[in-house]
C-alpha cells in the first residue's frame, strides 16, 4: 500500500509521464496550442505564488515582469539578432533585474501601499512600451519575432510538437526550482517573515534582503515564461499588461491555493481547458465567463485554501 510519505513523488512522476506521451495521442494542433498556453500561464501563476503566497508580498506588478520578459526577449532576438535561446534567458534576467529595482521601495512598505506601488509600476512599464513605439511597436505591437530553432529541425512545421515539449520542459524545470526554493532554508525564512516580522527579526532574518531576493527569483521565472510566450506566438502586444491578464493569473493562484507551487500549476491547466471547453458550447457566448466565475467561487467557498488543500488532506 502506498503511504502518505511516498504517494506524492509517485503522483508527480505519473503526471510527468502523462505529459511526455500526451502529444503522441493528441494529434489536434489546437489542443496542443492550448496546452502550451496553459504551460505558460502555469509558470507565471506558480512564480507569483512564491512572492504572494510564501513571502506574503502583495505584489501586483508580477504581470509586468511577465511583460518585461516578453519585450526583452523579443527585442533581443529581433532587433539585436541574439540567438532566440539566449534571448529567452535574457528575458528572465531582465525581469529579475527590474524586480530588484522595484523591490527597493517595496521592502520598506506594507499592506495596501505595496499593492499601489507595484500596480503603478505595472502601468509605468505599459506607458514605456506605448511611448517607445519606434522600438516596441507601441499599441500595434511587435510582430515577426524570430522563433526557436534546432539544427535540422523546423519548429514552424511540426504541428506544435516541438513547442509543446519546450513548454513542458520549462514548466517542469520551473516547478521543481520553485519548489526547491520554497522548501529550502530561504523558503523557511520568508515564511517566518510573512507570519511574524517581529519573530523573524529576533531570529536574525534580514527581512528587506529576503523580500528583495524573493521578488527577483519569482520575476526570473515569470520573465522566462514571457520569453517563451513571445518566441512561440512571435508577437509582443501591450495587451499582456491588461487587468484581465492580472485577474486571470491571480485567479489561478487563488483557485490553486497560495503557498503551494503545485496548486497554481494545476489550476492554470484546469481553468484554461474549462474556459475553452465552454466556449465551444453553442449559445453560451459570454456566459462562459459567468460559469467559470461561478466555478471559481464554488471552489474557494468549499476549499478556502484552494485545490492544493485536497492533496494536503491526502
φ, ψ for residue 142, nearest 5 deg? -115, 130
Q: What pLDDT is stored for residue 87 in this prediction?
A: 95
| Beta carbons within 10 angstroms of residue 26's beta carbon | 14
Q: Note down the domain range covering 234.
A: 28-241
Distance (Å, rounded) from C-alpha 276 to C-alpha 289?
Answer: 10
Q: Establish if 250 belongs to a structural domain.
A: no
Q: Establish if 234 belongs to a structural domain.
A: yes
Distance (Å, rounded) from C-alpha 73 to C-alpha 91?
Answer: 5
Q: Establish if 158 belongs to a structural domain.
A: yes
Three-state SS for 148? coil
The total number of structural domains in the chain stands at 1
Q: Which residues are bridge partners to 235 per DSSP?
A: 143
Q: Quick one: DSSP state of residue 55? A: S
What is the rounded average pLDDT of the residues 125-143?
88
Q: Establish if 83 belongs to a structural domain.
A: yes
- Judged by average pLDDT, the poorest of 47-51, 105-109, 136-140, 176-180 is 105-109
Distance (Å, rounded) from C-alpha 62 to C-alpha 52?
Answer: 10
Identify the CA nearest to 45 among candidates 245, 252, 215: 252
**Tens of pLDDT, residues 234-243:** 999 888 888 8
Q: Establish if 306 belongs to a structural domain.
A: no
Identify the CA nearest to 44 among candidates 184, 244, 234, 253: 253
Distance (Å, rounded) from C-alpha 98 to C-alpha 219?
Answer: 8
What is the rounded average pLDDT of the residues 187-195?
88
Q: Establish if 195 belongs to a structural domain.
A: yes
As given in the structure block, the three cell numbers for residue 177 are: 526550482
Contact at 8 Å (CB) between 248 and 41?
yes
CB burial of residue 262 (10 Å; 0-12, 13-18, 19+): buried
Is 10 or 49 the better-scoring residue by pLDDT? Answer: 49
Q: What pLDDT is stored for residue 119 in this prediction?
A: 85
Predicted TM-score (pTM) of this structure = 0.91
Q: Establish if 20 belongs to a structural domain.
A: no
Residue 118: band (very low, low, confident or very high) from pLDDT cuts 50, 70, 90: confident
Count of residues in the chain: 314
Amino acid at each position: 500500500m502506498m503511504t502518505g510519505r511516498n504517494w506524492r513523488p509517485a503522483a508527480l512522476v505519473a503526471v510527468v509521464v502523462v505529459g511526455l506521451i500526451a502529444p503522441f495521442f493528441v494529434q489536434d494542433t489546437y489542443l496542443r496550442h492550448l496546452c502550451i498556453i496553459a504551460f505558460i500561464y502555469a509558470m507565471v501563476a506558480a512564480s507569483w505564488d512564491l512572492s504572494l503566497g510564501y513571502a506574503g508580498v502583495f505584489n501586483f506588478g508580477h504581470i509586468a515582469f511577465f511583460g518585461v520578459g516578453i519585450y526583452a526577449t523579443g527585442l533581443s532576438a529581433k532587433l539585436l539578432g541574439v540567438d532566440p535561446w539566449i534571448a529567452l534567458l535574457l528575458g528572465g534576467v531582465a525581469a529579475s533585474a527590474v524586480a530588484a529595482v522595484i523591490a527597493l521601495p517595496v521592502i520598506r512598505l506594507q499592506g495596501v501601499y505595496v499593492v499601489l506601488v507595484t500596480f503603478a509600476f505595472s502601468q509605468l512599464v505599459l506607458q514605456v512600451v506605448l511611448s517607445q513605439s519606434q522600438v516596441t511597436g507601441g499599441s500595434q505591437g511587435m510582430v515577426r519575432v524570430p522563433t526557436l530553432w534546432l539544427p535540422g529541425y523546423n519548429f514552424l512545421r511540426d504541428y506544435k510538437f516541438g513547442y509543446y515539449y519546450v513548454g513542458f520542459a520549462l514548466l517542469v524545470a520551473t516547478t521543481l526550482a520553485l519548489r526547491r526554493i520554497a522548501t529550502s532554508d530561504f523558503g523557511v525564512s520568508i515564511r517566518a517573515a510573512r507570519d511574524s516580522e517581529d519573530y523573524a527579526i529576533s531570529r536574525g532574518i534580514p527581512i528587506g534582503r529576503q523580500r528583495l531576493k524573493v521578488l527577483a527569483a519569482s520575476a526570473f521565472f515569470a520573465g522566462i515564461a514571457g520569453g517563451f510566450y513571445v518566441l512561440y506566438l512571435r508577437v509582443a502586444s501591450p495587451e499582456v499588461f491588461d487587468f484581465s491578464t492580472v485577474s486571470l493569473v491571480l485567479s489561478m493562484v487563488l483557485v490553486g491555493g497560495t503557498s503551494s507551487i503545485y496548486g497554481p500549476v494545476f489550476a492554470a491547466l484546469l481553468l484554461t481547458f474549462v474556459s475553452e471547453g465552454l466556449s465551444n458550447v453553442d449559445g453560451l457566448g459570454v456566459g462562459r465567463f459567468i460559469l467559470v466565475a461561478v466555478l471559481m467561487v464554488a471552489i474557494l467557498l468549499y476549499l478556502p485554501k484552494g485545490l492544493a488543500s485536497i492533496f494536503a488532506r491526502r
